[in-house]
Structure 1
């Protein structure tokens, strides 16, 4: 536990320097030095982006948010969680330029709840919102989409049919048997 407390200020400094940035480099506190990060085998059609640690797959077929979520889950993936401006660029490079796409950020229960990550159910610390929207307004919009022009994420109606981008992590964590 003392090791965790000693490194906590470093972790906080990283968050202050780059708040909400979750791509590229991950800061992880690990007490077991026998953890191995292995590249996972990707399902067909995924494009790997190693610099952010994920692979994406674009589906042109238009689905509601919940059907899209289930589509991604059937491949061991999730809807793309856009939690950085860098991820906007990658997802925008895959999709049709005139269409918005569903993202993996939503409100769990009602329009007053926090925006959460579909992978974990935990509140999002940073969302690259489109500058023209106010995500704190109470509305019936409980899902999100990346705007067609790639200018950011915005609250969206869950029943809207949109194309889909699924996300799968590139690396799995296993314990080495050399312990």
Structure 2
């Protein structure tokens, strides 16, 4: 079985997240995609974070594809970082082929994630195009460091069969939606 892992705050989830999920399912030939709704994000402010329960409920309302599973198992891991979560997933599911899914906008700061090199060597990574990140992804530290492990976009259907490190960039339709922008439109305006 081939499963995509798409982690994030989903604060709030939106059609752009859904587009990334649909592209990953279709282009990578995945059987399932797990949305891993994180309890928190060490690179983002907790003050703006809706409760985990609220974010899970919003994800459930948005998702209608039975191949997409909404999860929050990271909470039970006690605030684990992504590298720890992926090691846990790998140990518990030795017969499943996983691919880490991320938006191209996250690639710019990927080198700031704890144990980012370990993440890149745990599972293959599919980077999905996002507005403003199409060309800049090549200059990211991750892309430069793992340039030798880049899989041609024409071969993305076999990415889940690759041994990490292996990564690809997938071009396609892009959504300009962002959780940050959505939160900003809902923030109280000064009088």
Question: Structure 2 length normalisation: TM-score?
Answer: 0.30
Name the structure with the higher strand share: 1
Larger Rg: 1
* Relative contact order higher in (CA < 8 Å, ≥ 6 apart): 1
